[in-house]
Amino acid sequence: MNGPRVAIVCGGRRHTYDDLDGSSRQVAAALLAGENDLREARIAFLAPPGFEYAAVQRGIWRAGGVAVPLATSHPPPELEYVIRDSAASVVVADPASTGPLAPIARAAGVRFAPVEGLLTVPAAPPDELPHLGPSRRAMIVYTSGTTARPKGVVSTHANIGAQVASLVEIWEWTPEDRLLLALPLHHLHGIINGLGSALAVRATCEMLPAFDALTVWDRFGSGEITVFTGVPAMYQRLIAAWEAAPPAARRAWSDGARRVRLMMSGSAALPLQTLARWREITGHTLLERYGMTEMCMALSNPLHGERRPGFVGTPVPGIEVRLVDENGRVVSDGTPGEIEVRGQAVFLEYWQRPADTHAAFRDGWFRTGDVAVREHGAYRLLGRTSVDIIKTGGFKVSALEIEEVVRTHPAIAECAIVGIADEQWGERVAVAVELQSAAALSLPELQDWAKARLAPYKVPRALRVVEALPRNAVGKILKPDVASLFGASDNASGPERRDLGGGKAQIAQ
């Protein structure tokens, strides 16, 4: 028996581990529909953070399926891409998502299953659910790479188990913990670092439908929260909300935050001034760490001991890390090199992309594409090996993928997407374009058009119109030269906008 211990709090309701067990069995029985095993069938599902999300995820696994979480922020074209690329056999959606997903499922010839329907089927007895071996595929999370469209990162049950076990150990999760989770759940930061770790030790996970700075501060002020993890942009918004609050609220919020035992930041580089200001407000030196969808966490600063600003710590349990040069030779301390990792937590494959999977490994080591240097035993990140990967607001996106979409704008003849440094978001997406003859285009016009076709964090935030993009002798666009078209003012985080006259770039939040 799981007992009456509270597993999830959301929407003003408390759900026990018994509730979660029963509901996940109902989901499993409904998905099986009389079969004895889904045999790794892909089940795409869309639900906001909450009890239903956790019940569906566990139900998919209990039925022997592969969970494919969809992003609530993505427009229909991106949802359709994931559903078709994963060859999903069932699409599950909460009531609010039925509108966009039902027609996509019909067009793809896929069974559509509303969440409420799954939760009305009698639960399957324990002996009627399949046995899940550790080598079986468990989840596909889509992430952008060096190809034009996102790749599905396949993790087995053993991979996920190893990921969670290492985090429980290094961050000392216990059943008495109460996690405040305000992260999206189509990204491993929320899925594994947050929800998975809390449920693994039968702690309580308090889930917010979306991040809201005042709500988070109020929960800190309650003194009930013990663990919080977020991306740098969240902490910057929390700082802004604290600074705008009256003195009494500031005192209550700061006092409550000091009682949180662990606060973490990840998915993007944490600006040093954000780290320092958060420490002034709460007394916490945020725990920075490094990971990827392909292995969850690889490096972490210590729970106890010195956390050095700008460093992401040392390897987590079960993960080996090395730095190599362009020829695969291990470099010495103090010399920059590409991060390569290996261990049971490292993913199985890119879904239906054997060539990409083969290229991602060297002698059994996963090639991350990130460059770091090791100094005094700890690792410091330096950047990406590929200019076509942009890390913005905690998400890794492919410039090539965005270019393929932006090129379809009727006013654009050619374009180049680059990332430009941004204090709040790590990088922001910028685009330089050649226009069709006699065409005109402003940044707000481009953004309005792109929002229907791209996830919010992929929409360009800066635009430069040029007569000709910089190219080399064989016609290849020179991305470093494109990036240089955007000056220091283009990197500002404020809401400033400039007209596109005189060759100046426009900025918008």
Residue spans of the domains in the chain: they are: 6-117, 172-285, 389-507
In whole angstroms, what is the distance from residue 114 CA to residue 72 CA?
15
Q: Enumerate long-range contacts of 135-138, CB under 8 Å, 24 or more apart.
A: 136/40, 136/64, 137/40, 137/66, 137/348, 138/61, 138/66, 138/67
Mean pLDDT, to the nearest integer, of 284-288? 96
In whole angstroms, what is the distance from residue 460 CA to residue 419 CA?
10
Judged on CB neighbours under 10 Å (0-12, 13-18, 19+), 146 is middle
In whole angstroms, what is the distance from residue 471 CA to residue 354 CA?
32
> Above 50 in pLDDT, residue 502?
no
Alpha helices for 407-494 (secondary structure H): 443-450, 479-483
> Above 50 in pLDDT, residue 408?
yes
In whole angstroms, what is the distance from residue 452 CA to residue 7 CA?
36
Higher local confidence (pLDDT), 505 or 465: 465
Higher local confidence (pLDDT), 13 or 233: 13
pLDDT of residue 395: 84
pLDDT of residue 381: 87
pLDDT of residue 499: 31
pLDDT of residue 487: 76
pLDDT of residue 160: 97
pLDDT confidence band for 199 (50 / 70 / 90): very high
In sign, the C-alpha dihedral spanning 305, 269, 190, 312 is negative
Q: How many residues does the chain have?
A: 509
Please state which of the four CATH numbers 1.10.3720.10, 3.10.180.10, 3.40.50.980, 3.30.1650.10 is assigned to the domain occupying 6-117: 3.40.50.980
Summarised one tens digit per residue, pLDDT across range 299-318 is 999 999 999 888 999 999 99
Summarised one tens digit per residue, pLDDT across range 50-68 is 999 999 999 999 999 999 9
pLDDT of residue 473: 57
Closest by Cα among 349, 352, 346, 285 to 321: 346
Quickly list DSSP for 78-103: HHHHHHHHTT-SEEEE-GGGHHHHHH
pLDDT of residue 260: 98
Q: At what angle do helices 213-222 and 247-258 cross, to 10 degrees?
A: 60
pLDDT > 90: what percent of the chain?
Answer: 75
pLDDT, the chain, mean: 90
> Above 60 in pLDDT, residue 12?
yes
Residue carrying the six token digits 């597993």: 7
> Above 80 in pLDDT, residue 459?
yes
pLDDT of residue 148: 62
**DSSP letter, residue 469:** -
pLDDT of residue 497: 32
pLDDT confidence band for 391 (50 / 70 / 90): confident
Mean pLDDT, to the nearest integer, of 372-398? 84
Q: Taking the mean position of all CA atoms in its chain, how far away is CA 203?
A: 22
Please state which of the four CATH numbers 3.40.720.10, 3.40.50.980, 3.90.1150.10, 3.40.50.450 is assigned to the domain occupying 172-285: 3.40.50.980
pLDDT confidence band for 394 (50 / 70 / 90): confident
Summarised one tens digit per residue, pLDDT across range 334-375 is 999 999 999 999 999 999 999 999 999 999 999 999 889 999
In whole angstroms, what is the distance from residue 380 CA to residue 402 CA?
29
Quickly list DSSP for 205-238: EEE-SS--HHHHHHHHHHT---EEEE-HHHHHHH
Mean pLDDT, to the nearest integer, of 268-274? 80
Mean pLDDT, to the nearest integer, of 208-225? 96
Top CATH class, 389-507:
alpha beta
Mean pLDDT, to the nearest integer, of 387-394? 82
Q: Taking the mean position of all CA atoms in its chain, how far away is CA 8?
A: 21
pLDDT of residue 180: 98
Reported as type and span, the H/E element at residue 178 is strand 178-181
pLDDT of residue 383: 72
Judged on CB neighbours under 10 Å (0-12, 13-18, 19+), 285 is middle
pLDDT of residue 398: 80
Q: 172-285: same fold as 6-117?
A: yes
Summarised one tens digit per residue, pLDDT across range 88-142 is 999 999 998 888 899 999 999 999 999 999 998 888 887 788 888 899 999 999 9
State both tokens at 53. 């999300």
